[in-house]
Chains A and B, each alone.
Chain A
Amino acid sequence: MMSTPKEGIPLVIVTYQDIYQWVAKQRDGWGDAYQQHSAVVRLSPADLKRLGLDDGALVELKSQAGSVVVKAKSDPICQQEGTGYMPASLYSNRLASYNPSVSRLPNLKRIEVRAVPTEKDVTPLPDLLLNFENSLPASDDPKLT
C-alpha cells in the first residue's frame, strides 16, 4: 500500500443526478436506500490508489463548508484524476456553499475538498438535516427519521 499524506489529497467534486437515488428518495424517503445511493464518491482508480484505499472503503471529504464521510468507489470509466463525482444529495450539499462574490450559483458542480482516509462511519442522515427548534422539533415528524 502506498503511503498517503496525512492531510489527504485535493479533489474537485462534481455532482450529478442519479435516477436510482431519486427513486429511492421518492419511494422510501430519506432512509437507508437513499443513503446507500447518496453517500458515495466515485474516483479514478489512480486517486483511490493515491489515497491507499480499497474499493468501497470510507473516506472523509472536507470543504470549507463542512465534512462528510462517504464510501469511495473506484470508477473505471472515471479516468480524470483529481475529480470526484457524487450524486447530488444531502451529502454533497453539506460540502457546498454559495458565495456570490465568487459565483452567481452555489458551487454544486465544482466543490473543492480534501479527501482523507478515515475509520469513522458514514455520516448518519439525521446529522445532515437542518433542525430549526423554534419551528419543528425533529422528533415530532416520524416520516423523516
Chain B
Amino acid sequence: MERGQRPKLSSQSLVCTGCGCLCDDIQVEIEGDHITKLENACAKSGALLYSSDSPERRATCLIRGQRASLEQAVEEAAHLLSKARKRLIFGLDNSTLEAQAAAIKLAQKLGGVIDDASSFSFGTLVQRILSGDLPTCSLSEVKDNADLLLYWGSDPPHTHPRHLSKFSYYAYTDYTEAGWFPKVTLSCVEVRDTELGLLCRPAFKLQPGGDKDFITDILMEGKNGTEESKKFVELIEKSRFCVIFCGSGLSYSLDNDFDLFNEMVHKLGQRTRIAVIPMAMEFNLRGFNQSLYKQTGYVNQVSFAAGTSHGSEFSFLEQVRKRLADCVLIISSDPFSNLPPSLMRNLQGTSIICLDHFSTPTTNTAGVVIPTALPGLECSGSAIRMDGDEIALVGLKKSEYPTEEEVLKQLAERI
C-alpha cells in the first residue's frame, strides 16, 4: 500500500457475543485490522469489540508464566492432559457450538469430567425446558404475542442491555412512537430497587432469599397468601400470554431447586399461556447445555470415566472442593474472578490449562495459557441464543489467534 493511502473500509453486520442476546444487527467498520466504528452496539458490546484490538487485554501464550510459541503451549497442554489421571474440562459458555462439540469429544477421549457455569446458574432451568417440563417460546414470539413480560431476579439494563429494546418491552409488534402508553405490561420480581423496576407496573419487591416463600404464597392462592402474592396471581390471570425471564437471582434464591417454580408455572399455566426463558449471561451457555443434552441426556455435570455418568459430584464446584481433578482445562471462562477464592484455592497444585481470548485472573493462575480468536468477530461458527434459536456467527477479521475448535482438535490428536 502506498504511503498516505487509506486501507479499504468495510462495513458489515456482526453478531455480538457479549451476552446471551446475540444481537445480530451490529454494524462494524474495519480499517485495516482495527475497528473504527460501531453502530447499534450497547456498552458491553462496544467494550468487548474494541478491547479485542487491545494487545494489553488479549491473552498471551504462556507456559508457567514464560512466553511460549503456540506450538509449545499446545504441546505442553497435551503433555499435561496425557499424564493426568483425572481430567476436568470446564467453561465453554463463551465458545461456539463447534468448539463445544470438540471439547465434548475430548472429554470422551480422556474419560474426563465436563461441566460449565450453568452448573451454578441456569442448568437446572434449561434441563427442565429441554425435557419439556417447563414451557418456553422464542424471542420473536415474545414480541409478536406476549402481553405480560415478567423479569424475575434479572436486571437486563445491566446484564443484557438491549434485551428490552430488541426483544421485549420496546420491541413488540404494536410499539409506536407513542410507546409511553404501551400495550404490554412490564413487571419484575426483585430483591432490590433497579432501573428496570422503575419502568415496571407493578414491581414486586421481596426480601433477599424470599422467592421460595413468595412462590409458596402464590401456590396457596390467597388462602393465607400475602397481598403481594394475590396481586401477582391476578396479574398473570389477566394476561393472555405471560413470558417469565428468569435471572440468576432466582436460581440463587431458590438454591437451584426449581420444583416449586415448576409447580407454580403449571398451576398458573392452566389459566393463561406462560413461557419461561432463562436470561443466560454468556452468549452460548444454552448451546453448551443443548449440545451435551443431545449426547448424554444431561445439560452439565457429566463424567465419561466409565460410560456416561451424571451427578452433582461432577460439578465444577464439587470437583474443586474435593480436589478430585489433577488437571483442569478451562475454556473461555474465568472462575478465579467469579467464584469464592476460599473454594478456588483448592486448585493449588493442580495443573491448569486455560484457553481464552482475553487476559483474566484465571489465565494469570494457569500453568499453560493458549490465546484464541474471539467468536463472532475473529472466527465463524454458530451459537444458541437464550431462547433456543440457533444463530450463525460470521468472523469479519483475520485473526492471529487460532480458534478454540482448532486448539481442542489439536489436543485430541496429540493425546
Asked if residues B342 and A104 are in contact (CB atoms below 8 Å), the reply is no
Collect the chain A residues with CB atoms within 8 Å of residue B193's CB: 77-78
Asked if residues B364 and A98 are in contact (CB atoms below 8 Å), the reply is no
Asked if residues A130 and B352 are in contact (CB atoms below 8 Å), the reply is no
Q: Given contacts A93-B338, A141-B364, are A14 and B44 in contact (CB under 8 A)?
A: no
Stretch at the interface among A23-31, A52-60, A114-122: A23-31
Please tell me if A5 contacts chain B, counting CB pairs below 8 Å. Answer: no
Asked if residues A66 and B341 are in contact (CB atoms below 8 Å), the reply is yes
Collect the chain B residues with CB atoms within 8 Å of residue A80's CB: 192, 207
* CB 8 Å contact bits of B339-372 with A (1 = contact, 0 = none): 1111111011101100000110101111100000
Please tell me if B256 contacts chain A, counting CB pairs below 8 Å. Answer: yes
Please tell me if B191 contacts chain A, counting CB pairs below 8 Å. Answer: yes
Q: Given contacts A23-B43, A128-B341, A135-B367, are A29 and B252 in contact (CB under 8 A)?
A: no
Collect the chain B residues with CB atoms within 8 Å of residue A66's CB: 341-342
Collect the chain A residues with CB atoms within 8 Å of residue B344's CB: 130
Asked if residues B342 and A109 are in contact (CB atoms below 8 Å), the reply is no
Q: How far is the CB of A4 from chain B (nearest CB, A)?
A: 24
Collect the chain A residues with CB atoms within 8 Å of residue B345's CB: 130
Please tell me if B157 contacts chain A, counting CB pairs below 8 Å. Answer: yes
Asked if residues A14 and B367 are in contact (CB atoms below 8 Å), the reply is no
Asked if residues A134 and B349 are in contact (CB atoms below 8 Å), the reply is yes
Q: Which of A104-145 contact B (CB under 8 A)?
A: 104-106, 108-110, 128-132, 134-138, 140-141, 143-144
Asked if residues A98 and B208 are in contact (CB atoms below 8 Å), the reply is no
Collect the chain B residues with CB atoms within 8 Å of residue A35's CB: none
Q: Given contacts A18-B158, A23-B47, are A136 and B340 in contact (CB under 8 A)?
A: no
Name which residue of chain B comes closest to A18, CB basis. B158
CA distance A16 to B159 in the complex (A): 10
Q: Which of B1-56 contact A (CB under 8 A)?
A: 43-44, 46-48, 50-51, 54, 56
Asked if residues B158 and A27 are in contact (CB atoms below 8 Å), the reply is no
Asked if residues A100 and B317 are in contact (CB atoms below 8 Å), the reply is yes
Q: Which of B143-171 contact A (CB under 8 A)?
A: 155, 157-159, 161
Name which residue of chain A comes closest to B52, CB basis. A26
Which residue in A26, A94, A144 is a CB contact (below 8 Å) of B364?
Answer: A144
CA distance A55 to B327 in the complex (A): 47
Collect the chain A residues with CB atoms within 8 Å of residue B340's CB: 65, 93-94, 96-98, 106, 108
- Interface of B with A (CB < 8 Å)? 43-44, 46-48, 50-51, 54, 56-57, 60, 62, 64-66, 120, 155, 157-159, 161, 191-193, 207-209, 249, 251-253, 255-257, 281, 312, 317-318, 321, 336-345, 347-349, 351-352, 358-359, 361, 363-367
- Pick 11 A–B contacts, CB within 8 A, sort by A: A19-B159, A29-B57, A103-B255, A104-B312, A110-B208, A130-B348, A134-B348, A135-B351, A135-B365, A136-B62, A143-B56
What would 20 more interface pairs be, CB under 8 Å, given A28-B57, A93-B338? A14-B191, A16-B155, A18-B158, A19-B44, A22-B47, A23-B44, A26-B44, A27-B50, A27-B54, A83-B208, A97-B340, A103-B255, A106-B120, A109-B208, A130-B348, A134-B349, A135-B351, A136-B365, A143-B359, A143-B364
